[in-house]
Amino acid sequence: MNPLIIAHRGNPFERPENTLASFAAALEVGAQFVELDVQLTRDGKVVVIHDALVDRTTNGRGRVGEMTLAEIRRLSAGYPERFGAAFAGERVPTLAEALGLLRDRARVMIEIKADSVGQDRDAGIEALTVREVRRAGMSDQVAFLSFDRLALLRARELAPEIPRGYIFHGAQSEAVLEGARAVGCDVVMPHKEMLSEGLAQSVREAGLRMATWVVDDPAELRALAVFDLYAVASNRPGLLLEALEDQASSGPT
């Protein structure tokens, strides 16, 4: 069975990552799974941005956690280093805005960034993210992802009905499975450089599913088929979806 293709930060090869334009572009190419990243502002608002700093993808400077939502909204999120002024009108979206765009159109993988995980369980990023998901009526349309074990433990406590995925990079196979069990995950997401037959077998024996990131080349996707992946995150979801469609139409070789 072909893996699911997850639009990583939307469709960032075509539009600035983690913006409404990027998510719309992912939907346009047929993506049914969209991944996005959330951080917490100084005034407790959940915004969609990957980095702890706004420097890389906006025309501003500073830490997300030290800025208010109003301050962040004044910035262009058009990723000027990559796209120049073409998307200068894009803004860092709130999670509520992103969910509003994607509701009933795609399943949303929400990565809770470790930078925003704090001491406050009841008013921290996990609780506020769960609140936005429930407010949008999307508990059955999302999954939570994180590198941070505490974030996933809290997500399980606050919203046990919402699936969770544990992301790894550079860990041993035993640590991957132990971490997944500890937070009650359905999916483990080791980086593609960690993939091995041994890990794949261990994941299957544990009754879990395995996904990976980031794969942008159809040839690489074909090479990874030996691991029977559940899903693959890609910065070029349209290209990979098209490659899978072509493969299906051509039949076995």
Helices of type H across the chain? 20-28, 69-73, 80-83, 95-102, 125-135, 149-158, 173-183, 197-205, 218-223, 237-250
Q: How far apart are CA 205 and CA 161, in angstroms?
A: 23
> Any long-range contacts for 9-15 (C-beta under 8 Å, 24+ apart)?
9/35, 9/36, 9/37, 9/50, 9/235, 10/34, 10/36, 11/235, 11/236, 11/237, 11/238, 12/235, 13/216, 13/235, 13/236, 14/238, 15/83, 15/87
What ranges do the domains of the chain cover? 4-52+94-250
Max distance between CA atoms of the chain, in angstroms, equals: 57
Helices of type H across 109-148? 125-135
pLDDT of 172 reads 82
Catalytic residue check, 8: yes
Catalytic residue check, 191: no
Asked whether the beta carbons of 31 and 7 are under 8 A apart, the reply is yes
Q: How far apart are CA 42 and CA 66, in angstroms?
A: 5
Asked whether the beta carbons of 76 and 90 are under 8 A apart, the reply is yes
pLDDT of 252 reads 61
Mean pLDDT by 10 residues, the chain (253 residues): 96 98 98 98 98 98 98 98 98 98 98 97 96 98 97 97 95 86 94 95 95 98 97 98 91 59
pLDDT of 141 reads 98
Of 9, 15, 45, 50, which residue is the catalytic one?
50
The distance of Cα 32 from the centroid of its chain, to the nearest Å, equals 13
Of 3, 8, 47, 173, which residue is the catalytic one?
8
Cα separations in angstroms, 204 against 211, 212, 221, 233: 12, 15, 20, 20
Query: What CATH topology corresponds to 4-52+94-250?
Result: TIM Barrel (3.20.20)
Residue with tokens 């483990």: 188
pLDDT of 142 reads 98
Collapsed DSSP state (helix, strand, coil) of residue 224: helix
pLDDT of 12 reads 98
